[in-house]
Amino acid sequence: MTTSPILAMLNFNEPFTVETNAFGEGIGVVLTQQGRPIAFMSRALGVAKRSWSTYTKEMLAILQAVHTWRLYLLSKKFFVQTDQRSLKYFMEQHIGTPEQQNRVAKLLGYNYVIVYYLGRENLVVDVLSRVSGSPILNALFVPHVGLWEDIKSTTKDHPYMDRLCQLAHNNPGQPYSWRDGCLVS
């Protein structure tokens, strides 16, 4: 994330994926296509929202993402990845409260599928939502050296990263290569 180009170019012929996470003080969302990031977003939660349930915080993350990237998402089917299993059944649930009705209304007109994704495999948005000690998550305030060490240690034993490392080893620079001990694309 320190060299350009870090974000992939939009391709409107491919489906979008919205990866979300909510934790403690904030929410994090990444818009991707074919596993490559298009845009990042993180938001700090106010005092009142911090006491919300994880389900509600995750729903807030989805709504924020759909609102922010609505011009990309409105015209075609997209996928929402969340580590909140019950959100997968959001449209099948009994909608009884005004808050739930409001959330459903905000998602009307969109063609989406909510997919459950294990939390430990949701690393990118996890970093965006869990910046320790930060009251505001709109920017990462983690020291540069510590951030890279955290990223390296977190991805060291991850199956997805193992596959990418194998790709970089077998075909350097196509699309991944090693630079300063980090896997880059």
Three-state DSSP string of 94-132: CCCCHHHHHHHHHHCCCCEEEEECCHHHCHHHHHHHCCC
Residue 42 reports pLDDT greater than 80: yes
Q: What is the pLDDT of residue 17?
A: 93
For the record, the structure tokens of 163 come out as: 């596959």
CB count in 10 Å sphere of residue 33: 19
Residues 6 or more apart from 164 whose CB is under 8 A from it?
A: 176, 183
| Mean pLDDT taken over the chain | 77
Token reading at 71: 């011009």
Q: Is the pLDDT assigned to residue 177 strictly greater than 80? A: no
Nearest residue to 24 via CA among 45, 43, 41: 45
Q: What is the pLDDT of residue 14?
A: 92
pLDDT for 115 equals 87
Class in CATH terms, 1-140: alpha beta
20 close to 112: Cβ distance less than 8 angstroms: no
AA identity, residue 127: V
Residue 131 has pLDDT above 70, yes or no: no
| pLDDT 10s digits, 71-111 | 889 888 999 988 877 777 666 666 767 887 788 888 888 88
Other CB atoms closer than 10 Å to residue 21's CB: what's the count? 29
Q: Is the pLDDT of residue 15 over 90?
A: yes
Residue 159 pLDDT > 90 = no
| Higher per-residue confidence, 132 vs 103 | 103
Say if residue 52's pLDDT is above 80. Answer: yes
pLDDT at residue number 153 = 76
Contact 178, 184 (CB under 8 A): yes
Which among 20-34, 59-73, 139-153 has the top mean pLDDT? 59-73
What is the biggest distance separating any 2 CA atoms in the chain, rounded to whole angstroms? 54
Would you say 18 and 67 are in contact if contact means Cβ atoms under 8 Å apart?
no
- Where are the domain boundaries for CATH 3.30.420.10 in the chain? 1-140
Residue type, 170: N
Helices 98-107 & 54-68, crossing angle to 10 degrees? 30
